Structure 1
Amino acid sequence: MADSSTTGPLQDRSNPDQSSTDITSSPSTPVSRRAQRVQREAAASSRPASSPARTNGRAASTAVRTATGSTAAQAKKKRKGGWILNAGVITVATGIIATMSLPAFAFNPSDAQSAGFGPSAADSMKKAQSQTVEVGGVAASTVSRDAASATTEEQLAAQKAVAAAEAARRQAAVELATYASKSTGPSVSDFLANPPYPNFSLSQVFSVAQQYIGTPYVYGGATPAGFDCSGYVMYVYAQFGVSLPHSVSGQAARGKRISIADAQPGDLVIMPGHDGFYAGNGNIMDAPDSGRSISIRPIWTSDYYIVRLGI
């Protein structure tokens, strides 16, 4: 039993170094677990310490992993923030489009004929051609639209001229009625039958015509109660036995046209629709128009010519 090759416990405790040497030198010799642990610890203590380069590499690797994680987190936060920004932009754009659409709907509602947008009772009355107002116990009265529809200055001026002519015509009718009641003395036909001035001369004609300065203008008048322009000329020339029509064009046709330089007081000044006696120095003696009387005044236009009668 003492010669057995198996190592016992007493042997292990008495010579550990020898056991270790034997295990190393003879791999076929069985080794206990305790011996294996002792060998590992010895090997770890004899291994050199890690180099600074390896330590720094591990630190760098750890920093890279940390930075990568931080970057990923920031990117995730950025993606989340960008989604919120896009949602906000879409919401604002939708609000702007809705705001722009509301005025268009207000001006062009789909139900434009509804009570809220339809014509009011007052508008319907304004569009009517005539309106009738009835008051209890009082006869109804009708108010009609004005027939005037002028829209330009020329049309308005033409309407004013027509209105002025109508007013002048009514005034002339009144004046003529008054003139007829005041007319006394000889008439044109009386003078032609017995002329008070049988010897004709222009200077005498002008002298007789001056006697009626201040006589009022009366449309259609041909007596000292009132003259119009051609009635005045006709009445004066009748006193010299010269018969003239009661019109400007007819009187111009009875005489001879002469140059303005040769005109003498007593000749006729002929204008479009008007005539009178030439008074010398570029003046005319005439019955002007309603509201004025016979007077001497400068010729105001170049659109005239001179006619001489009695030659």
Structure 2
Amino acid sequence: MRNDDSKSITIAKAPGEPIDRPVTPTPGHTSRRRGALGNVVVMALATGMVATVALPAYAFAPGSNGTRFGATAATEMKAAQAQHVMVDEQATTITVARDGYTATSEAELRQAEADARRVEVASQMAAYAAAYSGPSVGDLLSSPAYPNYDLASVYKVALQYQGVPYVYGGATPAGFDCSGFIMYVYAQFGIGLPHSSSGQGAAGTRISEADARPGDLVIMDGHDGFYAGNGNILHAPYEGASVRVQPIWTSNYYIVRLGI
């Protein structure tokens, strides 16, 4: 017998004498055989897929039998929709009030800063008064040291106070602020001036810088000093500094002369 698509049948040629004769199967017979085989394969695959889908999801995770892949307490609670929370009864009686708290306003902060500044100035003035025992502005106006006024003499007297420290509100050689310095110097010539840069500017006559001479006043916004010639000013600058000569640092100023 041959191992191919042909089949053999036995035909009795004579009693006791078999004869092999190849018989070619018909096309229909082969197709039915292949179809049956295909059906068996398809059914096997389908059965396997159904079994796979039916497996629980955790069957695909390696080590799924361990606790690492088990449901957590939070997950189980969420699944059970557990939303009950226990609250102490005392919590319902607690009230919140602002009575025990305070807030400082911006105005209060500014006031506190101003108060602190006044205390500081008062302390400075106390030390300042204790450090000086000479004549005051009032004393000098009552009895001028230099009855004859001229700009050169004014500037010469003013130069004597270089190095005197700046003291806010100061108007004696123990300490000067800008207008206090000018007020004290001019008082020695019998000329009374207010303790204010703007007031001193208003007390004189404006002149051009070309006509300015040492002893005239340089008036700025909130500050003043003696004109020192060549674009310089002799003045009491600010806290921490002393009376000195330096170049005028701004173009926003004007010159005033007293006594004309």
TM-score by length of 2: 0.66
Q: Aligned partners of 2:163, 2:224: CA distance in 1, in Å? A: 17
* Residue equivalent to 1:29: none
**Contact 1:168–1:290 (8 Å) recurs in 2:** no
Which one of the candidate residues 236, 245, 255 is aligned to 1:296?
Answer: 245
Matches within 5 A, 1:70-85: 70-84=41-55
State the 1:160 CA deviation.
8.9
- The answer to whether residue 260 in structure 2 is matched with residue 274 in structure 1 is no
Classify 1:59/1:228 alpha carbon distance in 2 versus 1 (closer, same or farther; 3 Å).
closer
Aligned partner (choices 196, 216, 221) of residue 247 of structure 1: 196
| Structure 2 residue 37 is matched with structure 1 residue 88 | no
2 CA distance for matches of 1:185 and 1:53? Answer: 150
Would you say how many aligned residue pairs link Structure 1 and Structure 2? 222
Counterpart AA for 1:268: L
- 2:68 matched to which residue of 1? none
Residue type matched to 1:65 in 2? A
CA contact (8 A) 1:172 1:290 kept: no
Larger helix proportion of the pair: 1
In the alignment, is residue 66 of structure 1 matched against residue 37 of structure 2?
A: yes
Q: Hey, what's the Cα distance between the residues in 2 that align with 1:112 and 1:162? A: 50
**Secondary structure class of the residue paired with 1:241:** coil
Structure 1 SS opposite 2:226:
strand
Structure 2 counterpart of 1:76, one-letter code: T
Inter-CA distance 61–210: structure 2 relative to 1 (3 Å threshold): same
What's 1:228 paired with? Answer: 177
CA distance in 2: counterparts of 1:221 and 1:213, whole angstroms: 15
Mapping of 1:255-270 within 5 angstroms? 255-270=204-219
Alpha carbons of 1:184 and 1:288: their partners in 2 closer, same or farther (altered >3 Å)?
same
- State the one-letter code of the partner of 1:77: G
Following superposition, the deviation at residue 149 of structure 1 comes to: 7.0
> RCO greater where, 1 or 2, for CA within 8 Å and sep 6 or more?
2
Counterpart CA distance in 2 for 1:114 and 1:263 is 86
- In structure 2, relative to structure 1, the CA distance for the partners of 1:220 and 1:128 (3 Å cut) is same
Task: For 1:303 and 1:297, locate their aligned partners in 2 and report how far apart those are by CA, in whole Å.
Answer: 16
Moved more, 75-84 or 52-61: 52-61
Which is further off, 204-213 or 49-58?
Answer: 49-58
Percent of pairs with identical residues: 48
Contact 1:284 1:298 in 2 (8 A): yes
Residue 247 and residue 149 in structure 1: after superposition, are their counterparts in 2 closer, same or farther (change >3 A)? closer
Q: Distance in 1 between matches of 2:104 and 2:210?
A: 49
Measure the CA separation in 1 of the matches of 2:116 and 2:208: 38
- Per the TM alignment, residue 49 of structure 1 is displaced from its structure 2 partner at its CA by 8.7
Q: Distance in 1 between matches of 2:200 and 2:253?
A: 14
Question: 1:83/1:192 Cα in 2 relative to 1: closer, same or farther (>3 Å)?
Answer: same
Point out where structure 2 has 5 or more consecutive residues left out of the alignment.
1-11, 62-70
Judged with a 3 Å threshold, the aligned counterparts in structure 2 of structure 1 residues 257 and 226 are, in CA distance, closer, same or farther, namely same
SS at match of 2:227: strand
* Cα shift readout 1:261-280 (whole Å, capped 9, x = no counterpart): 43322111222222111222
- CA distance in structure 2 between the partners assigned to 1:82 and 1:204 by the alignment: 115
Equivalent-residue separation in structure 2 for 1:113 and 1:248 (angstroms)? 74
Preserved contact between residue 215 and residue 293 of structure 1 (Cα < 8 Å): yes
Aligned equivalents of 1:203, 1:161: Cα separation in 2: 45
Alpha carbons of structure 1 residues 306 and 113: separation in structure 2 relative to 1, 3 Å: farther
Q: Give CA deviations for 1:83-142 in whole Å, capped at 9, x if unaligned.
A: 44xx539x99xxxxx99x97xx9xxx9678857xx9xxxxx9xx9846xxxxxxxxxxxx
Residue 281 of structure 1: how far off its partner (Å): 2.7
Structure 1 length as normaliser, TM-score?
A: 0.57
